[in-house]
Amino acid sequence: MKYLSACPPFRALTVVLAAFSFAIPAAFAAAPAAAPIVLTGADRRPAQSLDGEWASIVDPYFSGLFSFHHQEKTNGWFLNQKAKPGDPFPTEYDYSKAPKLKVPGDWNTQRESLLFYEGPVWYEHDFTYQPKEHTRIFLHVGAANYRSWFWVNGQKACEHEGGYTAFNCDVTAAVHAGGNFVVAAVDNTRHEDNVPTLETDWWNYGGLIREVSLITVPDAFIDQYDLHLSRTEDNAIEGWVHVIGGKAGAAVEVEIPELHAKTAANVDESGRAAIHVNVQGLERWSPDNPKQYKVALRAGEDSVSELMGFRTIETRGTQILLNGKPIFLRGVAIHAEAPYRTGRAYSDKDAETLLGWAKELGCNYVRLAHYPHAETMLRAADRMGLLVWSENPVYWALQFDNPKVLAKAEQQLDEEIGTSRNHAAIILWSMANETPNTDARTHFIETLASRARALDSSRLITAALLVRAEGHTKVVDDPLGKALDVIGVNEYIGWYEGHPETADVTEWRIDYEKPLIVSEFGGGAKAGLHGNENERWTEEYEANIYRHQLPMLNKIPQLRGMSPWVLMDFRSPNRPLAGIQDEFNRKGLISDQGQKKLAFYVLQKAYKERTIGKPE
């Protein structure tokens, strides 16, 4: 989202942040654990949930990296040490006496004193477990914002950077029969070389924001798989299954009982088995018919029971083709903001409420901005028949000339695709949002686009670009467009420039013969504030923007979709206007408390009467 109307697209980042400059003690960094792995469909595996109340200690100085004992640094809070009888020196922390935080959940909305807090917080949780022979145990973390470290029974399990992707830490050697404990340190401090960087237009919710569980697998197990409908061969499902810990030549089976389809293949030296199976009578997944099939994957002692839809997505000239037929994407953008309670969305109820509103609006598509959303949201989109734009958090002005930042963006892209590649709903991988037009930026995102295609060639690549003006003409000529299958553009006529009526005299020039999605447009209104249609912040003004935008956009010949900004109001520290915004971005069609604004009904009428978009 753009912030200031009178500013250039990217104002200099003037936020001065005093970054932590501590030296990490040896005890904290010693015996580095293996890097986390990605598990496709982790939520489809039997798991022991660790959700619930966790002890928490707010630690703005990160003192818990070590404890002082008789004026010596002796241990860290990850050891969860208890005071010993007769010890004259008191411990300075005690998880049993610490206040609780709910997991999953952000800390900001659970405790008033933490609403604006940015820094480290320690978590601790006790659990019992009975390990089985010839198995491996993974601590599964749906997401922890932004950087996190995990220990089980005092042994370091892993560390992770990135606040919106799932990861899995091998804790086999640390877990024992009976009582155990897990300690996590989560730090949402913003740094210039993070992805996203210092400044965003959404709340920096910290904590264990998605589910945490223990997943047990055999010694040899399936970690990732990719099954999709062939674009070139009728009635064929193709892809691969990857096995960790197996031997070359070991068998892998894939079965779809409802279609009486079954095939077997052998893994190669890299652990991958190529899959190809012919099917008869398959119903293709679509918004009108979100058909899903039970799919069984087996490798030795391991098995995964999936639920998947099968469809194709491709472009032909300026058309987007779903299952070989042109489609117009009637959509809306959505932040992972929880309805009613606010805070980070994570539950099935959150997803069903947000996507239920999108369906009520008349959508067949949603842009899930500006980072990967939870599996609960993607599973709901699969069930409800909503196509999805999924986005890597390359947002605004990153350090595009920093190789370390590129590596972080690549890691998060790998995790996003590796976790979610089997959702039929996802048709677009977005590489970025509103980035400055520089050579370094273009090379950075072209590298990501190439990586995404190598990881998943079955979907389309996009990004939300900025547009420039030549008089009353909007020009889309960003060189990044060459690397995209579908061009996304953001514009705010009537809000950050001109008046709603300015749209009536605006023309468009698109310098690419590719499909175009207007990925953002709109304006702000406080729900319940009424007045003249030319009075800003009223529901009437926001509705007036939509009334002028829709006819303008409908005249763009290659327009193939839109996702106006945004479905629901969401928290943003950039929006302090007292009495109107109150630290909320008010561009929602619905308030955070579920009140539909007038603009909702303007867009709903256009979508349901199909007066917007080319014939399908």
pLDDT digits (tens, 9 = 90+) for 339-397: 999 999 999 999 999 999 999 999 999 999 999 999 999 999 999 999 999 999 999 99
The domain defined by 232-311 carries CATH number 2.60.40.10: yes
Q: Report the half-sphere exposure of 240 (CA within 13 A, side-chain side).
A: 16
DSSP state of 569: -
Full 3-state SS string of 420-468:
HCCCCCEEEEEEEECCCCCHHHHHHHHHHHHHHHHHCCCCEEEEEEECE
Type of residue at 183: V
Q: Compute the 3-state secondary structure of the chain and give helix, strand, coil in percent, each to the nearest 5.
A: 20, 35, 45
| Distances, alpha carbon 88 to alpha carbons 63, 67, 75, 94, 476, in Å | 21, 15, 17, 16, 71
CB 553 within 8 A of CB 518: yes
The domain defined by 322-608 carries CATH number 3.20.20.80: yes
Gap between the Cα atoms of 404 and 407, Å rounded: 5
CB 480 within 8 A of CB 442: yes
What mean pLDDT do residues 410-431 have?
98
The domain spans of the chain are 26-216, 232-311, 322-608
For residue 82, the model assigns a pLDDT of 82
Full-model pTM: 0.94
Full 3-state SS string of 271-319:
CEEEEEEECCCCCCCECCECCCEEEEEEECCEEEEEEECCCCEEEECCE
Q: How much is the mean pLDDT over the chain?
A: 93
Gap between the Cα atoms of 361 and 334, Å rounded: 13
**Sequence-separated (6 or more) residues with CB below 8 Å from residue 541:** 500, 523, 525, 531, 532, 533, 534, 535
Where b means 16+ CB within 10 Å and e means fewer, 377-390 reads bbbbbbbbbbbbbb
The encoded tokens of residue 51 equal 């959700």
| Cα torsion through 78, 404, 478, 589, rounded to 10 | 0
| Distances, alpha carbon 360 to alpha carbons 56, 216, 244, 363, 603, in Å | 40, 40, 43, 7, 11
Gap between the Cα atoms of 33 and 167, Å rounded: 14
The encoded tokens of residue 503 equal 């749209």
Quote the crossing angle between the two packed helices 598-608 and 348-361, to the nearest 10°. 70
Counting residues of the chain whose pLDDT is more than 90, the rounded percentage is 89
pLDDT in tens, 116-142: 999 999 999 999 999 999 999 999 999
Gap between the Cα atoms of 362 and 603, Å rounded: 8
pLDDT in tens, 458-468: 999 999 999 99
Where b means 16+ CB within 10 Å and e means fewer, 247-272 reads eeeeebbbbbeebebebebebeeebb
For residue 91, the model assigns a pLDDT of 79
DSSP track, 469-526: EETTEEEE--GGGGG-SEEEEE--BTTTBS-GGGGGG-EEEE-SSS-EEEEE----B-
Report residue 87's pLDDT band, with 50, 70 and 90 as the boundaries: confident
CB 342 within 8 A of CB 594: no
Report the Cα 228 to chain-centroid distance in Å.
21
The encoded tokens of residue 218 equal 């055999």
Full 3-state SS string of 111-145:
CHHHCCCCCEEEEEEEEEECCCCCEEEEEEECCCE
Report residue 19's pLDDT band, with 50, 70 and 90 as the boundaries: very low
Quote the crossing angle between the two packed helices 403-420 and 439-455, to the nearest 10°. 30
The encoded tokens of residue 104 equal 């999953």
CB 482 within 8 A of CB 449: no
Please state which of the ranges 91-100, 287-296, 404-413 shows the lowest mean pLDDT.
91-100
For residue 613, the model assigns a pLDDT of 86
Q: Which of 233, 271, 234 is nearest to 252 (CA)?
A: 271
For the chain, the maximum distance between any two Cα atoms, rounded to a whole number of angstroms, is: 82
For residue 67, the model assigns a pLDDT of 59
Query: 84 exposed, middle or buried (CB, 10 Å; 0-12, 13-18, 19+)?
Result: exposed
A 10 A CB-CB count for 579 gives 8
Question: Which CATH code is given to the segment(s) 26-216?
Answer: 2.60.120.260
